[in-house]
Amino acid sequence: MQRSPISGLYWLLFLACLALVIALNLPWPGLPPQDPGALLRDNWFLWGFNYFGILLVPLAALVIDDALRRQMRWPFYVVPMFVVGILALSIYMARRPAADRLRRETPRLFELRWVWWILCAATIVISLFFLPRGSLSELTDTMSRNLGLTFMWLDIVLNQVVALPLAQADMQRRGVEAQRQTPWLIAILLTGPLGLCAYLATRPRIAPEFGAPAPSPTPA
């Protein structure tokens, strides 16, 4: 089975992230007393936690659809992804076949546009609610007292980056023109769930018979 030519980089990403997670959770000498309760008082941490949770929903939809087409057992990747984020996602990308093996319809649930618009709105609402009430200095202090969770911020960035090849593969299946792919990829990279949910809410549909974009209805 042919793998992606950069699958080795995903294995390297997994090992690097795993080493960093272990290092951040070691009992280093001179480490400030840890205070998990501070997390619930830090508005910027709560924003990041909710932002990350919303990001994983459309990302999981892309992984499941992609895994079904490549005949991979998606629960072994998607379920852990909601707990360990990039660690599970990087293994999926490393083991992912280079090309689709089946032509099949996207699960109906993932084509419900209103779901993705609601998640778009949720991303905006939590940002407007939490961001004006927090501060960088407070977040820095909170993270210094919860060193093991500082990886969350890198995890968010890495998940947004790894979402790009999955989103691009979905665009190619649906016949999105190359010049229209780049703005979407930039939006996903910069905004995460906001751009990803907006793409899923507006993407062309795939005809179930051929895995190609469904033709537009002709006027009567």
User: What pLDDT shows up at residue 6?
Assistant: 87
Q: What confidence category does residue 207 fall into, taking pLDDT thresholds of 50, 70 and 90?
A: low
Q: For 103-140, how does the pLDDT look when each residue is reduced to its tens digit (9 = 90+)?
A: 878 889 999 999 999 999 999 999 999 999 999 999 99
- Give whichever of 5-9, 54-58, 143-147 has the largest mean pLDDT: 54-58
Please state, as a whole number, how many other Cβ atoms lie within 10 Å of the Cβ of residue 5: 8
The Cα 195–Cα 190 span in angstroms is: 8
Please state, as a whole number, how many other Cβ atoms lie within 10 Å of the Cβ of residue 88: 19
Residue with tokens 């660690």: 87
CA atoms within 13 A on the CB side of 1: 13
* Ranges of each domain in the chain: 7-25+35-203
Query: Is residue 88 over pLDDT 80?
Result: yes
Q: For 56-85, how does the pLDDT look when each residue is reduced to its tens digit (9 = 90+)?
A: 999 999 999 999 999 999 999 999 999 999
How many angstroms separate the Cα of 56 from the Cα of each of 25, 123, 156? Answer: 23, 12, 9
Q: What confidence category does residue 214 fall into, taking pLDDT thresholds of 50, 70 and 90?
A: very low
Average pLDDT, integer, range 171-191: 94
